[in-house]
Amino acid sequence: NKKYTIAVLPGDGIGTEVTPVAVEALRLAGSLEGIDFEFKEMLVGGAAYEATGVPFPEETLKAFLESDAVYLGAVGITKKMPSSDHLPKHLRPEVGLMRIRRALGVYANLRPITVFPQLLEASSLKRSVTEEVDFMIIRELAGGLYYGKPRGFGINEKGEETGFCTEIYSSSEVDRVARIAFDMAMERRGKVCSVDKATVLESSRLWRKRVTIMSEEYPEVDLSHMLVDTSGMELIRYPKQFDVLLTTNVFGDILSDVAAMITGGIGMLPSACIGGPGPQLFEPVHGSAPDIEGEDVANPLAAVLTAVMLLRYGLKEEAVAKRIENAIFDTLNEGFRTRDIPTPGAKIVGCKKMGEEILKSL
């Protein structure tokens, strides 16, 4: 049997509820295709901070380097730690997540927005708007406003406190993520829409310039540019227009949550963080969701769809990926839903039960 080692970081809040579902789906689907997984469970985020005093322990990093892919549940505040505001920056759970992304060298975050026909009624948007939507958001993940320096706190000439960050992109940072977008478009419908705010931001002007230069290597791909404010509107007005939507770190953070609403919500969105030299990182788009933590009502589909991405983009095990995808499809066809994606006549179940149904379908 082929064998893969997966570093598993359940993380915080509902991360610990949805991750076991994804792990069991991987294990079962793998065994059906003659593949063994070894799962190494590690700490990260608030959970790691509580156990070890830091949100991203050395041990966890070591486990990464010995694994074929990294699976992360969710990182953030929890019922027990309802705010991280009191912690110095380097100890906050979210900063643990940013460190992981950095440590793995991943720079492109793929967030597919695909509407399941069974869930058309679960969206706030009209069926006519969401039907057949299928696009990929590619969010730059290693640069921009999230990491740029200088950043910190200061005192200005009037003696007032200030807080500041730097939005900066270099040519190679744009080029490498643009390449992923163009390559992806070649395998899809051949369209890239690059989103920036080039009318106002110098960082966006460089972004637009480099994306345009990169597009010359891809004459088959149709490149367009859209301002970020317009794109926020267009995602809701007419999402079918998008094939690959390429954008910066901070814009991608916002736009992918907006786009989540097309699919019935953030409980449906998986993501893959790729581009690094070693193992790649896979995480649902949702956070730790302290409001529903511990109640067994979280939607595990984002987590399971993330396992699909791990198989597809991380391990290139398409057959196993397809098996899990089909099992999700069957489970939805049987009418099972978590409460965040209600549809008329559905059977509303909890996180665990939804997981069991997926395993049954497998």
Residues belonging to the active site: 146, 197, 229, 253, 257
CB of 89 to ligand IPM, least distance (A): 12
| Contact pick of 28, 91, 186, 236 for its own copies (by CB under 8 A) | 236
Question: 30 or 96: whose CB is closer to ligand IPM?
Answer: 96
Residues 245-284 close enough to bind its own copies by CB under 8 A:
250-251, 253-258, 260-261, 265-266
Question: 248 or 280: whose CB is closer to its own copies?
Answer: 248
> Kind and range of the H or E element at 194?
strand 191-196
Task: Choose among ligand IPM, its own copies, none what residue 9 binds, the Cβ cut-off being 5 to 8 Å by kind.
Answer: none
Encoding tokens for residue 142? 């290693």
Give CA separation, 62 vs 43, 104, 251, in Å.
Answer: 12, 11, 31
Task: Choose among its own copies, ligand IPM, none what residue 152 binds, the Cβ cut-off being 5 to 8 Å by kind.
Answer: its own copies
Provide the CB-side half-sphere exposure for 270 (13 A, CA): 24
3-state secondary structure of 70: strand
CB of 115 to ligand IPM, least distance (A): 20
| Contact pick of 53, 82, 153, 344 for its own copies (by CB under 8 A) | 153
Residues 6 or more apart from 20 whose CB is under 8 A from it?
10, 355
Long-range contacts of residues 238-243, Cβ cutoff 8 Å, at least 24 apart: 238/129, 239/113, 239/129, 239/130, 239/133, 239/135, 240/132, 240/133, 241/193, 242/113, 242/135, 242/191, 242/193, 243/135, 243/136, 243/185, 243/188, 243/189, 243/190, 243/191, 243/192, 243/193
Q: Classify the phi-psi angles of 270: left when phi > 0, otherwise alpha if psi is within -120 to 50, otherwise beta.
A: beta
Residue 162 binds its own copies, judged by CB under 8 A: yes
CB of 33 to ligand IPM, least distance (A): 30
Residue 126 binds its own copies, judged by CB under 8 A: yes
What is the binding site for ligand IPM (CB under 6 A)?
A: 75-76, 94, 97-98, 199-200, 229, 253
- Compute the distance between CA of residue 225 and CA of residue 211 in angstroms, rounded to an integer: 9
Question: 179 or 205: whose CB is closer to its own copies?
Answer: 205
CB of 206 to its own copies, least distance (A): 3
CB of 67 to ligand IPM, least distance (A): 20
Question: 185 or 198: whose CB is closer to ligand IPM?
Answer: 198
Residue 169 binds its own copies, judged by CB under 8 A: yes
> Cβ distance 43 to 78 under 8 Å?
no
Report the first-to-last Cα separation within the chain, whole angstroms.
19
Given the rule CB under 8 A, which residues bind its own copies? Answer: 76, 84-85, 92, 94-95, 98, 124-126, 129, 145-146, 148, 151-153, 156, 158, 160-172, 197-208, 228-230, 232-233, 235-238, 250-251, 253-258, 260-261, 265-266, 287
